């Protein structure tokens, strides 16, 4: 597994180890999050970098399944070619590694993203897996390249594969940030200042200063106020997924026969409406709620009909349940989660799979 210390990866490791599966985690020696794996006895750590072919081949030796979750979600100020090298060509290196070292491979699962659908200008509501993938941004394009590399290598070498396209992945302890006024103000400013370096740039192209509109509509409102946006056609909507459901869906993609050769949207059973999201935060935390009018309605909704039909995917958590789990002190074993420990910055990076940070 790559990305084993990430928000989905650590929860996937937890579930696999609890089920008696032997996990080999490919981890950078300098990863600041590798201590997360100490909680899972028996995990084999394979030190290496996704640009190191020799380390990758050693890690792939005799594996039966690969879950490739690692990716850089934000471009930042780094070189574009390094960004593409990690997000796209790491997939190629892993595939070459399993071709040479894992003759008994049963499944290769690639974690992808709704950002491959150009989420700032959705072509359909909801988006299904067969709509055109024309991302027109750095992150979505890099992940789409990874998908193309996987499909072509799989056809060439008869590799059983599956692709999971996550929506915005939320960890319970941070989920309330998504509908807090302070977060939304910061998110708008980050997107607008990033311009076309943002994954969502089409959403803001030619628009007025949305952050200024929000500021003018909410003078004096504290940043922890529950908030959402509403447009002429109703509240904004977003398909997100609890990290526990994302981990469970990934296990299904690794194991279900119907997953082979297919890509799946992985989100909650229903999209979050801004009104319902803000209400969940307001009622759970006892804070005021405000809906801010904006001049358009954005609906980023994904269909999970394919995942239901071919994986047997049944997401267990809606947004309110995710938020409430973040406050729970004694969750039953089936509902436990490994915290992402990234706070609002993590939500900002995760929103639609890799938007620019401020």
| Residue 346: pLDDT band with limits 50, 70, 90 | low
C-alpha–C-alpha distance, residues 338 and 14, integer Å: 8
Range 243-254 average pLDDT: 99
In the prediction, which pLDDT does 74 show?
81
Range 321-328 average pLDDT: 97
pLDDT at 32 > cutoff 90: no
pLDDT (tens digit per residue) in 272-310:
999 999 999 999 999 999 999 999 999 999 999 999 999
Range in 71-75, 187-191, 342-346 with the lowest mean pLDDT: 342-346
Strands 237-238 and 272-273, by their bridges, are antiparallel
Fold assignment, 7-173+240-269+301-350:
Rossmann fold (3.40.50)
**For 271, which DSSP code?**
P
233 by Cβ neighbours in 10 Å (0-12 / 13-18 / 19+) ranks as exposed
Q: What SS3 class is residue 153?
A: helix
Range 68-86 average pLDDT: 88
In the prediction, which pLDDT does 150 show?
99
In the prediction, which pLDDT does 344 show?
56
C-alpha–C-alpha distance, residues 56 and 195, integer Å: 36
Averaged confidence pLDDT in the chain: 94
pLDDT at 258 > cutoff 70: yes
| Nearest residue to 250 via CA among 36, 18, 9 | 9
In which element (H, E) is residue 161 found? Answer: strand 161-166
pLDDT at 91 > cutoff 80: yes
C-alpha–C-alpha distance, residues 117 and 122, integer Å: 7
pLDDT at 355 > cutoff 80: no
């Amino acid at each position: 597994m790559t990305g084993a210390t990430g928000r989905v990866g650590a929860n996937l490791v937890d579930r696999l180890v609890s089920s008696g599966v032997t996990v080999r985690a490919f981890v950078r020696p300098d990863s600041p999050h590798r201590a997360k794996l100490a909680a899972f006895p028996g995990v084999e750590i394979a030190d290496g970098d996704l640009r190191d072919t020799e380390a990758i081949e050693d890690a792939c030796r005799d594996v039966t399944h690969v879950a490739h979750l690692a990716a850089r979600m934000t471009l930042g100020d780094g070189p574009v070619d390094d960004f593409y090298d990690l997000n796209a060509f790491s997939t190629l290196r892993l595939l070459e590694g399993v071709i040479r070292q894992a003759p008994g491979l049963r499944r290769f699962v690639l974690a992808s993203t709704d950002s491959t659908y150009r989420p700032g200008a959705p072509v359909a509501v909801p988006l299904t897996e067969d709509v055109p993938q024309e991302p027109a941004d750095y992150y979505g394009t890099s992940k789409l390249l990874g998908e193309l590399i996987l499909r072509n290598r799989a056809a060439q070498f008869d590799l059983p594969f599956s692709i999971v396209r996550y929506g915005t992945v939320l960890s319970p302890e941070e989920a309330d940030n998504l509908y807090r006024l302070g977060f939304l103000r910061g998110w708008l400013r980050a997107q607008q200042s990033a311009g076309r370096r943002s994954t969502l740039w089409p959403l803001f192209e030619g628009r007025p200063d949305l952050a200024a509109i929000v500021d003018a509509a909410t003078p004096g409102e504290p940043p922890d106020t529950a908030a959402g946006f509403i447009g002429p056609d109703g509240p904004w909507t977003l398909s997100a997924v609890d990290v526990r459901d994302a981990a469970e869906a990934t296990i299904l993609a690794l194991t279900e026969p119907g997953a082979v050769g297919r890509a799946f949207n992985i989100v909650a059973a229903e999209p979050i409406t801004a009104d319902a999201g803000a209400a969940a935060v307001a009622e759970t935390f006892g804070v005021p709620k405000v809906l801010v009018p904006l001049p358009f309605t954005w609906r980023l909704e994904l269909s999970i009909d394919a995942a239901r039909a071919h994986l047997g995917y049944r997401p267990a958590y809606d947004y309110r349940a995710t938020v409430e789990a973040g406050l729970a002190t004694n969750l039953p074993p089936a509902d436990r989660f490994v915290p992402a420990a990234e706070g609002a910055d993590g939500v900002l990076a995760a929103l639609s799979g890799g938007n620019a940070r401020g």
